[in-house]
Amino acid sequence: MAVDLLLGLQWGDEGKGKIVDVLTSKYDIIARFQGGPNAGHTLVFNGKKHVLHTIPSGIFHEKAINLVGNGVVIDPVIFKKELLGLEQHEIDYRKSLFISRKAHIILPTHRLLDAASEAAKGKAKIGSTLKGIGPTYMDKTGRNGIRVGDLEMPDWKEKYRSLADKHEAMIDFYNVDLSYDLKQLEAEFFEAVELLKTLKIIDSEEFLFNAQKEGKSILAEGAQGSLLDIDFGTYPYVTSSNTTAAGACTGLGVAPNQIGDVIGIFKAYTTRVGSGPFPTELFDEIGETMGRVGHEFGATTGRPRRCGWLDLVALRYACLINGVTQLTMMKADVLSGFETIKVCTSYYYRGEEITHFPYSLDEEYVTPIYKELKGWKEDITTITKSDELPTELINYIEYLEKELQIPISIVSVGPDRVQTINRKNSALSLG
């Protein structure tokens, strides 16, 4: 059976966690393929909010298997905290959570290196979540990393020591003011590793081959968003993994011809957390309202998210790179009350109007060109049927479908599981 993908089309935080949770009843396996604890995926149901960082968003469904794939980087300390959080909800993760032997481990010194690198960059900092993501992927591609499978080998602590010693020398090289107690961090780390070692550690690609052969349905869950992709995002203000569809192939061992639906998820407006260009960013009352009504604060770092209008140039680009077949529009409720809704349809870029995503999104080169649509006043958070949505919102949805030539199958009108509307004739049933 084909493997479906769900991934973010903007700068992350599109609402992936919510929709994966909603769709999990349709799938046997939910698999994360990249990123790590830089992600913060929020799920809301039965009046409770849950934030997951490394654990896939299908974990609250009893029947689903949740797999942390080889493309993910795991911080055992954060992972342990997440597991303890699940225990409170009586989730039997020992039965339903599987971890790839080939996933890389974030060491305490990776986190310190992240902080040192950011401090050394000063104003040019990436705005990293400081979870050690960049340094861990650097060690992966530099062929120095420690993988989950190494933890089962007798010599892993020697490997650890030599890598951590090298990291300490690198931290000194940055010559920044960074105080830390490595002994304390290591004690916490080694303790968390012991818990990790008791979980179901598997050869995940083999597991997925067999699952496919047996006809099991699989949904791959992306983290971050396409505009944070290491190759196709707004480099260098990106994360260190391939967040786009190809990342699911390398991050799980799924062959490209096994990919089925690619579900692209986007907010009805745009947000970004951390540094980097953002052409449609608003610095006025409208942007402030989006942030306030949408509770736009990072689920991992608590930082306020920058807000702005929907950018169709960027969205079209993300749809093409990922081969998106179905769209999911999130947070339409946040736009209720605006007189007009603006959509960026092209850029004025270095002297000409363009509709493709250019090499640089820097403010000095890019000026967004907008189309205006009529807004709606109604509170839509209790609407359950797509034909009950305000006409102006339906017009907005149909306009985007026409521009992107991809159906918007789901419209989300609030954070809760139940605030999810399946559009008429949608190819994507909610299960």
Residues designated as active site:
13, 41
Helices (H) and strands (E) in the chain, counts: 12, 20
3-state SS, residue 252: helix
Q: Please, what is the minimum distance in Å from the beta carbon of residue 294 to ligand GDP?
A: 6
Which of 3, 4, 6, 8 binds ligand IMO (CB under 6 A)? It is 8
Residues 41-60, mask of contacts with ligand GDP (x by CB under 6 A): xx-x----------------
Q: Tokens representing 258?
A: 């096994």
21-24 long-range contacts (CB < 8 A, ≥24 apart) are 21/45, 21/57, 21/58, 21/60, 21/61, 21/417, 22/410, 22/417, 22/420, 22/430, 22/431, 23/219, 23/263, 23/428, 23/430, 23/431, 24/57, 24/58, 24/60, 24/61, 24/64, 24/219, 24/431
Which of 3, 4, 9, 15 binds ligand GDP (CB under 6 A)? It is 15
Distance between CA 92 and CA 220 in Å, rounded? 21
**Does 15 help bind ligand IMO (rule: CB under 6 A)?**
no
Which of 5, 6, 7, 12 binds ligand IMO (CB under 6 A)? It is 12
Task: Using the minimum distance from each CB to ligand IMO, give the nearer residue, 15 or 390.
Answer: 15
Task: Using the minimum distance from each CB to ligand GDP, give the nearer residue, 69 or 294.
Answer: 294
Which of 50, 147, 415, 428 binds ligand GDP (CB under 6 A)? It is 415
Distances (CA, A) of 159 to 37, 164, 220, 278: 23, 9, 32, 41
**Does 330 help bind ligand GDP (rule: CB under 6 A)?**
yes
Of 317, 312, 403, the C-alpha closest to 357 is: 317
Q: Please, what is the minimum distance in Å from the beta carbon of residue 360 to Mg ion?
A: 26
Q: Please, what is the minimum distance in Å from the beta carbon of residue 381 to ligand GDP?
A: 7
Q: Which residue has the tokens 């689903």?
A: 64
Q: Which residue has the tokens 């640089």?
A: 360
Residues 17-46, mask of contacts with Mg ion (x by CB under 5 A): -----------------------x------
Query: Among ligand IMO, Mg ion, ligand GDP, none, what binds residue 333 when CB lies within 5 to 8 Å by partner kind?
Result: ligand GDP
Which of 148, 245, 400, 413 binds ligand GDP (CB under 6 A)? It is 413
Distance between CA 96 and CA 110 in Å, rounded? 29
Q: Please, what is the minimum distance in Å from the beta carbon of residue 79 to ligand GDP?
A: 17
Q: Which of residues 79-98 bind ligand GDP (CB under 6 A)?
A: none
Distance between CA 248 and CA 311 in Å, rounded? 25
**Does 265 help bind ligand IMO (rule: CB under 6 A)?**
no
Q: Are strands 306-308 and 352-354 parallel, antiparallel or unpaired?
A: unpaired
Distance between CA 100 and CA 96 in Å, rounded? 13
Residues forming the site for ligand GDP (CB under 6 A): 8, 12-18, 39-42, 44, 294-295, 299, 330-331, 333-334, 412-415
Residues forming the site for ligand IMO (CB under 6 A): 8, 11-13, 35, 38-41, 126-129, 131, 133-134, 223-225, 228, 239, 273-274, 299
Residues forming the site for Mg ion (CB under 5 A): 13, 40, 299
